Amino acid sequence: MKRTVLITGASNGLGVEFAKIHAAKGDNLVLVARGKDKMNLLKAEIEKRHPVSVYVIGRDLSDPGAPRTIYNELKTQKIQVDYLINNAGFGDFGLFEKSNWEKQLQMINLNVTAVTYFTRLFLPDMIKNKYGKILNIASTASFQPGPTMSVYFATKAFVLSFSEAIANEVKGTGVTVTTLCPGATATGFKTVASLDNSNLFKGWIASSKSVAEYGYRAMMRGRTVVVHGLMNKIMAFSVRFAPRNIVTAIARMKLKAK
């Protein structure tokens, strides 16, 4: 049976890789992002290579009403979503006291509100159909506070906590919720977040393809929380036992520019 996956943030980075993976598996795609031109190019490439259909929706998901608009559009088009990948998100670097509030609010709306609303909209349909998989993209930032990226780290902590709770609620329904926590990854994230010179991106950086493949496997197996990369796993585990002030200080050092 052919399945359909909705991928947010599908115009670059992990979103593009998730689209390619699912297309190669024979899944139809619903691609959502602001960059409609990029998605149309991806649609043409995918439909040329694979016998799947690609439906493109150009929307700014920092608009709190966007998820409902998209859900209603798909209902009108009679498109049933079997897999939901909440991938869209961005970060911002700098002291909170000097931050641009509108940008912080957009981040909260995209990283938190859109993830939560999409899940709320599509989850009842999945439960009714007794089948569905949700993959929410969090971060290794989920496991500790992040001075100079305070709002971003907090939004990812929300995604992790929220997703774990929903994963527990849906046990036995045929639906699974997986949270993927990548570390530094080669996407456009660091430039948008003004982290090009950060210590965080000076070491080993995972490829978008490897992270997406890892997340896809975890979602299909119904795992609850997965951390990509051995060092990231060690870090995520170790912060549970270290004093919070030390964890916070280390996080700030990693974000500091060289």
- With H, G, I as helix, E, B as strand and everything else as coil, classify residue 180: strand
C-alpha 189/C-alpha 164 separation (Å) is 24
Residue type, 46: I
C-alpha 224/C-alpha 178 separation (Å) is 4
C-alpha 70/C-alpha 56 separation (Å) is 11
Set 131, 152, 214, 216: catalytic member? 152
C-alpha 188/C-alpha 127 separation (Å) is 34
C-alpha 112/C-alpha 142 separation (Å) is 12
Give the Cβ contact number of residue 211 at 10 Å. Answer: 23
Cross-strand pairs, 137: 180
C-alpha 52/C-alpha 28 separation (Å) is 5
Cβ density class 108-146: b for 16+ within 10 Å, e for less: bbbbbbbbbbbbebbbebbeeeeebbbbbbbbbbbbbbb
Structure tokens at 2: 């052919």
Catalytic annotation present for 152: yes
**What distance lies between CA 257 and its chain's CA centroid?**
25
Q: Which residues are catalytic?
A: 152
